[in-house]
A = this chain, B = another copy of it.
Amino acid sequence: MKLTKEQKQEILDQQSQSNVTKRVISPELEKILYEALPVLDHGFVRVVDYMGDDSSVVQSARVSYGKGTKKVSTDSGLIKYLMRHRHSTPFEMCEIKYHVKLPIFVARQWIRHRTANVNEYSARYSILDKEFYIPEKEHLAAQSKDNRQGRGDLINGKQADEILKILKEDAQKNYDDYEKMLNEKYDGSVIDENKQGLARELARMNLTLNAYTQWYWKTDLLNLLNFLALRADSHAQYEIRAYADVMIDSLKKWVPITYEAFMDYRVGVTELSLKGKSIVKKMIKGEKCKFEDSRLSKREWNELMESFGFREHLV
């Protein structure tokens, strides 16, 4: 990730602020505020504002339940309780704003989370940066055979080189043609004084989906957790997971108690259906359990056995 001189200066200016406030602050998050945390080859995540901390979650819960919460003596105990029982509204009382630079195909997955506020750099108004995402060789995976959605074996050697060559050359060629149609280089210089440039809103359609865009993305803590639970999951596409992983670090700095409860009761959670649970209960009693008697589908049986690490039971 390379930043322009202006970007570096802007970050320095923002970080040199020192304001006095009566609001609660999150000391660890303050330390990385505005910093451009690198993601993928040209992307970044920056925390640019926030509101509230763990104590804000507690405060709201205590208003809701009034004197009823006095029994749960510690903040940590209360937050764990709220997370375990999927209470939602107290976690909505904190807010965070990110500045993110990301490939367009990642932005298209991301935007499906609707409960957030977004201001994206507009290619109708302005020319996009000359930067495209090219995967590391170690992420060039083949299509999975048994999972329609996932990645399978790594692609190595010559074929990997060919693929990277295609991705680089096509993105480069399409960007060059983008400038040509605009009759303007990214730096603002005009290419041919005797020509008009094509409207930006049209020229952009020639760009590839790995071109980088950027946006401000603001959401509350509850919806951030929902986003992270899905996007930091091993089933998420690697490229969006790379962003989610960096954001989980910022979550940990911002609201350390909520972070811990999230890892215990959301990320690490296993769900047992009624039928699944009755099988587990039998197993605990020492009874033999076979797929044939389970009334589960094969896929479901395997998911259950795998989740408990009983590989010998897979069918």
Where the two chains meet, the residues of A that have a C-beta atom closer than 8 Å to any C-beta of B are 14-15, 17-25, 30, 33-34, 49-52, 56, 59-61, 63-69, 71, 77, 80-81, 84, 89-90, 92-93, 95, 97, 99, 103-105, 107-108, 111-112, 114-115, 117-122, 124-127, 133, 135, 139-144, 148-153, 155, 159, 163, 166-167, 170-171, 173-174, 177, 180-182, 195-202, 204-210, 214-216, 218, 220, 237, 263-265, 268-275, 277, 280-281, 283-284, 286, 297, 299-300, 303, 308-309
Contact = CB atoms under 8 A, between A and B. Distances in A.
A193 to B, nearest CB: 13
A19 B50 CA distance: 14
Given A118-B112, A149-B125, A286-B286, A273 B202 contact: no
Contacts of A177: 166, 170
Give this chain's copy count: 4
B80 A297 contact: yes
A197 to B, nearest CB: 5
Given A19-B22, A97-B93, A49 B56 contact: yes
B66 A103 contact: no
A297 to B, nearest CB: 7
Given A163-B181, A205-B133, A68 B125 contact: yes
Given A119-B61, A214-B63, A84 B264 contact: no
A272 B268 CA distance: 8
A177 B119 CA distance: 32
Contacts of A23: 17, 19, 21, 33, 49-50
Contacts of A299: 81
B206 A207 contact: no
B196 A143 contact: yes
